């Protein structure tokens, strides 16, 4: 659906030249919610603005729905952009226009018949839950309501792709959750491909199917959110995970310290982290396995949560008993589809 090939973007010239994106490749499948996460200055805003050529790449190609946007004329590009909606961090609404007129604006630009505009605007306002606010002005709305207007406006042209530029970073947590749910509902209803950029891992965890981690203008890690979230490979990804789960990490560090002392005392214990995914999160796999192997265990720290709609759990566990039996326990858990990492 979206393919970026060797995307490079530089600003300035000579010694003052800055590289925002460096030979970047990226593929987004049709109907996916694809997240791009990175720190400030990593290049994520430049990346998303290159997809609809609001920023024209210095080199490389941008393909959307089988069309090479970088090879189009100005007129052809304008036509293709109608297939790409975009919502912004600070809403970018017309302050002197009503909610109705903000949503109708892109339709009026292409001379859509008045009756069709009226039908479409009312349909979209109902979709985003603002059907009773059509005559209000942006100044009369909350931040979440303004973003809902922005979403409705972005959908007015029936786009195949929706780009979200830090769409929730100006919102409080409760409003963020409602906007993310709305985006997920829209994705399901219209099979709309959504690309969102953020610096918040919980946003990625809540709604994304795939994620790419951007650092210094390049993609350093990407894949299904379940893989990247549970097994981060790059230091930048691990940094995001640590920021998002500081309290859990403190508990885990305390568990490590405690287990370290116990291990030194008897030499018959091992500390492991067990990760569960999907339905296995709620199965009694651990208790069945230790009954078979004769190993005792103590749960030192644990969490159960969701990645999008997929449940997952992580336990920090101390096994106690014969070394061979502990080894057999770890092997059996791995054989049953759990991910067991020996910590100490």
| Tens-place pLDDT, residues 223-237 | 999 889 888 888 888
Cα–Cα distance measured from residue 130 to residue 99, given in angstroms and rounded to the nearest whole number: 9
Are 202 and 273 in a shared domain?
A: no
Are 236 and 308 in a shared domain?
A: no
Cα–Cα distance measured from residue 253 to residue 251, given in angstroms and rounded to the nearest whole number: 5
Are 49 and 127 in a shared domain?
A: yes
Mean pLDDT, rounded, for 75-88: 93
Are 187 and 325 in a shared domain?
A: no
Q: Is the pLDDT of residue 243 over 70?
A: no
**Rounded to the nearest 10 degrees, how much is the dihedral formed by the CA atoms of 69, 72, 75, 76?**
-70
Cα–Cα distance measured from residue 332 to residue 117, given in angstroms and rounded to the nearest whole number: 62
Q: Is the pLDDT of residue 254 over 80?
A: no
Are 271 and 227 in a shared domain?
A: no
pLDDT band at 16 (very low <50, low <70, confident <90, very high): confident
Nearest to 315 by CA among 211, 208, 230: 230
The per-residue pLDDT for 61 is 96
Are 132 and 266 in a shared domain?
A: no
pLDDT band at 333 (very low <50, low <70, confident <90, very high): very high
Last residue of a domain, one of 209, 244, 279: 244
pLDDT band at 265 (very low <50, low <70, confident <90, very high): very low
Mean pLDDT, rounded, for 127-145: 96
Mean pLDDT, rounded, for 5-18: 90
Mean pLDDT, rounded, for 94-114: 95
- Decide: pTM greater than 0.75: yes
Last residue of a domain, one of 244, 263, 290: 244
The per-residue pLDDT for 310 is 87
Nearest to 80 by CA among 61, 93, 63, 92: 63
Cα–Cα distance measured from residue 222 to residue 237, given in angstroms and rounded to the nearest whole number: 10
Are 256 and 226 in a shared domain?
A: no
Q: Which residue has the higher pLDDT, 14 or 9?
A: 9
- The length of the chain is 344
The per-residue pLDDT for 263 is 46
Q: Which residue has the higher pLDDT, 164 or 262?
A: 164
Which residue is associated with the tokens 């990175």?
38
Q: Which of 38-42, 115-119, 148-152 has the weakest average pLDDT?
A: 38-42
- When the pLDDT of each residue in the chain is averaged and rounded to a whole number, the result is 89
Last residue of a domain, one of 244, 277, 309: 244
Are 48 and 193 in a shared domain?
A: yes
Q: Which of 55-64, 112-121, 250-259 has the weakest average pLDDT?
A: 250-259
Q: Is the pLDDT of residue 264 over 70?
A: no
pLDDT band at 31 (very low <50, low <70, confident <90, very high): very high
Mean pLDDT, rounded, for 318-339: 92
Cα–Cα distance measured from residue 47 to residue 211, given in angstroms and rounded to the nearest whole number: 14
**Six token digits for residue 154:** 């972005």
Residue 140, domain CATH: 3.40.50.300
Share of the chain above pLDDT 70, in %: 92
Mean pLDDT, rounded, for 115-123: 96
Contact 168, 148 (CB under 8 A): no
Are 160 and 24 in a shared domain?
A: yes
- pLDDT tens digits, 173-213: 999 999 999 999 999 999 999 999 999 888 999 999 999 99
Are 231 and 144 in a shared domain?
A: yes
Number of domains into which the chain is organized = 2
Are 188 and 285 in a shared domain?
A: no
Exposure string over 304-342, b if 16+ CB within 10 A, otherwise e: eeebeeeebbbbbbbbbbeeebbebbbebbeeeebebee
Mean pLDDT, rounded, for 104-115: 94
pLDDT band at 302 (very low <50, low <70, confident <90, very high): confident
Strand 296-307 to 339-342 pairing: unpaired
Are 207 and 257 in a shared domain?
A: no
Q: Is the pLDDT of residue 239 over 60?
A: yes
Residue 319, domain CATH: 3.30.70.260
Give me the domain span that covers residue 66.
Answer: 2-244
């Amino acid at each position: 659906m979206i393919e970026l090939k060797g995307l490079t973007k530089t600003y300035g010239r000579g010694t003052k030249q800055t590289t925002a994106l460096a030979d970047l490749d990226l593929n987004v499948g049709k109907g996916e919610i694809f997240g791009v996460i990175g720190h400030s200055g990593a290049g994520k805003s430049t990346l998303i603005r290159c997809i609809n050529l609001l920023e024209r790449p210095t080199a490389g190609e941008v393909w959307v729905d089988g069309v090479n946007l970088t090879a189009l004329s100005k007129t052809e590009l304008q036509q293709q952009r109608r297939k790409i909606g975009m919502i912004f961090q600070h809403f970018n609404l017309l302050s002197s226009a009503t909610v109705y007129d903000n949503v109708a604006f892109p339709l009026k630009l292409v001379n859509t018949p008045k009756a069709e505009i009226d039908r479409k605007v009312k349909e979209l306002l109902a979709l985003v839950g603002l059907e009773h606010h059509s005559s209000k002005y942006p100044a009369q709305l909350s931040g979440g309501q303004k973003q809902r207007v922005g979403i409705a406006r972005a959908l007015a042209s029936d786009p195949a792709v929706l780009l979200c530029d830090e769409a929730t970073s100006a919102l409080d947590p409760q409003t963020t959750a409602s906007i993310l749910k709305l985006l997920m509902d829209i994705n399901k209803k219209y099979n709309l491909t959504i690309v969102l950029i953020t610096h918040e891992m919980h946003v990625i965890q809540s709604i994304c199917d795939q994620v790419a981690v951007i650092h210094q203008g390049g993609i350093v890690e990407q894949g299904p959110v379940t893989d990247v979230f549970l097994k981060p490979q790059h230091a930048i990804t691990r940094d995001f995970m640590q920021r998002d789960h500081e309290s859990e990490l403190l508990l885990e560090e305390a568990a490590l310290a405690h287990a370290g002392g116990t291990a030194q005392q008897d030499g018959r214990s091992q500390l492991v982290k067990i990760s569960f995914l999907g339905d296995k999160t709620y199965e009694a796999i651990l208790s069945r396995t230790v009954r078979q192997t004769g190993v005792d265990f103590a749960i030192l720290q644990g969490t159960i949560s969701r990645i999008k709609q997929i449940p997952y759990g992580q336990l920090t566990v101390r096994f106690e008993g014969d070394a061979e039996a502990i080894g057999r326990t770890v092997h059996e858990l791995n054989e049953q589809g759990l991910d067991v990492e020996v910590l100490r």
